[in-house]
Structure 1
Amino acid sequence: MKASLLLIGLVASGQALAAEEKPFSMDGEFGFIATSGNTETTSMKGKLSAHQELEMWSNDYKFESLYKKDEVNDVSQTTAQKYFLSAQGNYKLTNPDHRVFGFASYEDDRFSSFDYQSTIAGGWSQKLWQDDSSKFDYSIGPGYSFAKRQDGTSENGVIVRGVVNYELKLSKTANFKQLISTEVGSDNTKSKSESSISAKISDGFSLKVSLVLDHNSDVADTKKNLDTQTAVTLVYTFF
C-alpha cells in the first residue's frame, strides 16, 4: 500500500514538472509614452525574450530596442536609439545542472561612445538550484570583443565574461528577477544590471517595472560612464 502511494506520488510529481517545463517559451514586452503641447516626445521600448529547453541543450535568445524623439520649438530630434541582441546555448553534461555555454551578442547604441559593441564567449555554466520559489545560475568564461568607437577607432581584444541570474517567486502572480553581467577587457569593462518585478494582470499579460544600469569604464570625455533606464512595460507571453 505504501509502495503504491509512493508510486502515485512520484507519477503525479513527474506530471506536474512536465506541465511546468515548456520546450519553448517566448515573452514580448512593449512600452510607449507620447506627450504633446509645449514639448512633444515619443518614447518606445520593446523586447523579445525566448527560452528553449531540449534534452541536451538549454538556449536563450534576446532582442531589445529603445527609441526616443523630442520636439521642442518645432525642432524634432532623436535623443535615444539603441538595439541589442544576444543568444546563448548551454550544452548539458552528465549532470544536467553542469553545462558548457557559447554566447554571442551585438549592440548598436547611437548616442554612446561606441558605434557598436559585439562579443563572443564560451565557458562554464551551472544551475546552482531551482525549486518552487526561486532559481539561481551563473556562467563564466573567456571571450573576444569587437568594438568600434564613434571616432572610427576599433578596439578588439580578449575579455572574461561573467553572468549571474536570480529569480524569486514573490506570490502566485508576482516575480522578481535580477540579472548581472560583466565583460572585463584591457580597453574597456562593460557591465549591465537589470532588476525587475512583474505581476500577472490577466491570462498572458503581465505588468513589469524594471531598472537597467549600463556601464562602460572607458568612454569619451563628453559621455557618461553610466546609463540608467527605468521603465513600466506590458508583457505578453506568447508560449
Structure 2
Amino acid sequence: MTKTLIAAACLFAFAGVVQAQDADTDTSTDNGGWTGSGEFGFASARGNSRTENVNAKLGLNQENEYWKNNFFLNGMRSKGEVTVLDASGNTVDRFTTTANRYDGGASVGYKLDPRSYIVGAGRYEHDDFGANLWQGIVSLGYGYIALKNERTELSFEIGPGYKRYRPADTTVLVNGVATDMRQPTESELVGRGLINFKYRLTDNTAFEDTLLVEAGSKNKYYQNDAGLSVSMTKKLALKLGFQVRYNSDTQPGTQSTDTLTTTNLVYNF
C-alpha cells in the first residue's frame, strides 16, 4: 500500500509540473531535430492475491537533413505469489520475482537523400525468465522512408548483422536433485529487418506499430510493439501498449511466444 501511495503521489506531482510548463509561453528553439519520451507504469494488488508490476521506457530520436537516429532503454519487473515446495517437501506460497527484463539499443542513420539512409544498429537484452538469458546484435543496413507527412509515417530498414546469445539454463536431475545446467553461448549471422509505422488518428490520438525481425539459421526472433496514445496536455499522455515476442529456439518448459500489455503515463520532451 505504501508503494502504491508513493507512486500515485509522484504521478500527480508530475502531472502538475507538466501542466504548469504547458501554461508557459513556448520558447522552444531549433535543437537539431531531437525529440524524446519517457514512460512509466506501476500496479500493485493486495488482499486475496499479492502482485507488483512496474515498467519504464525511455526513447530519444533525432531526424534532420543529415541524420535519422534512435536510442532506447526499457525495463520491466514483476513480483507475485507462486506455489513452491520448501526444503521439507511442503507446498507453500512465496512472494517472489516472476519477471525481470531490460534492454537497450541504438540506431544511427546517415541520410543519402531525403528518403534513403545507411543505418548501423545495436541492441542488447537481458531476461531472467526468457528463452535466452541475454542476447546482443550489431548490424549495418539500408533504410527507406516510404511515407512521411503530418499524419502518417512509414519507414523500413533491412541489412545483415551478427548476433550472440546465451540460451536459458535447463533443469536436469543429478542424483535425484533438480539442478540448473548452464547452456553454451551461441553466435551466428542474421538478417535484421525493421518496419516502423505511425498514424495520427486525431489531434490528440496517435497509433504506432514497430516490427523487429532478427532471423538466423539457428535462432529467429520477432518482436512487435503496438501502442495507442491519447494526449492530455502538450507533454503528458496516456498510452496503451501491446507487445508480442517470439523466439524460435526455446528450452523445455518455456514457451516461444510472450505477450505484454501495459498502460503507461508518457512524458514527451
Which category of TM-score, normalised to the shorter sequence, fits these structures?
0.7 to 0.9
Q: Which residue of 2 aligns with 1:126?
A: 144
Match of 1:80 among 99, 102, 105: 99
Match of 2:229 among 198, 202, 205: 198
TM-score by length of 1: 0.88
CA contact (8 A) 2:126 2:133 kept: yes
Q: Which residue of 2 aligns with 1:140?
A: 158
**SS of alignment partner, residue 237 of structure 2:** strand
For residues 13-162 of structure 1, the aligned pairs below 5 Å read: 23-71=33-81, 75-93=94-112, 95-150=113-168, 151-162=182-193
TM-score by length of 2: 0.78
Between the aligned partners of 2:29 and 2:147, the Cα distance in structure 1 is: 19
**SS of alignment partner, residue 202 of structure 1:** coil
Between the aligned partners of 1:20 and 1:227, the Cα distance in structure 2 is: 41
CA contact (8 A) 2:213 2:222 kept: yes
Between the aligned partners of 1:98 and 1:224, the Cα distance in structure 2 is: 38
More displaced stretch, 139-148 vs 73-82: 73-82
Cα offset, 1:145, TM superposition: 0.3
Write the deviation string for residues 116-162 of structure 1: whole angstroms up to 9, x where unpaired: 01000111001011012101000000000010122331110100001
More displaced stretch, 166-175 vs 47-56: 47-56
Shift of the 105–214 alpha-carbon distance from structure 1 to 2, 3 Å rule, reads: same
Match of 1:228 among 225, 236, 259: 259
Between the aligned partners of 2:241 and 2:30, the Cα distance in structure 1 is: 25
Cα offset, 1:114, TM superposition: 1.3
What is the percentage of aligned positions where both structures have the same residue? 29
Task: Look up the equivalent residue of 1:138 and give its one-letter code.
Answer: F
Cα offset, 1:53, TM superposition: 2.5
Cα offset, 1:221, TM superposition: 1.7
**SS of alignment partner, residue 39 of structure 1:** coil
CA contact (8 A) 2:54 2:76 kept: yes
Between the aligned partners of 1:189 and 1:28, the Cα distance in structure 2 is: 29
Gaps of 5+ in 2: 1-27, 83-91, 169-181
Task: Look up the equivalent residue of 2:134 and give its one-letter code.
Answer: Y
Between the aligned partners of 1:20 and 1:177, the Cα distance in structure 2 is: 25
Task: Look up the equivalent residue of 1:110 and give its one-letter code.
Answer: D
RMSD (Å) for aligned C-alpha atoms: 1.8
Between the aligned partners of 2:184 and 2:131, the Cα distance in structure 1 is: 11
Between the aligned partners of 1:53 and 1:117, the Cα distance in structure 2 is: 28
Between the aligned partners of 1:227 and 1:74, the Cα distance in structure 2 is: 24
Between the aligned partners of 1:192 and 1:34, the Cα distance in structure 2 is: 27
**SS of alignment partner, residue 232 of structure 2:** strand
Between the aligned partners of 1:203 and 1:52, the Cα distance in structure 2 is: 19
CA contact (8 A) 2:157 2:193 kept: yes
* Aligned length, in residue pairs: 220
Cα offset, 1:38, TM superposition: 2.6
Between the aligned partners of 1:161 and 1:113, the Cα distance in structure 2 is: 19
**SS of alignment partner, residue 180 of structure 1:** strand
Task: Look up the equivalent residue of 2:47 and give its one-letter code.
Answer: G
CA contact (8 A) 2:167 2:251 kept: no
Cα offset, 1:226, TM superposition: 0.2
Cα offset, 1:75, TM superposition: 1.9
Shift of the 20–132 alpha-carbon distance from structure 1 to 2, 3 Å rule, reads: farther
Gaps of 5+ in 1: 1-17
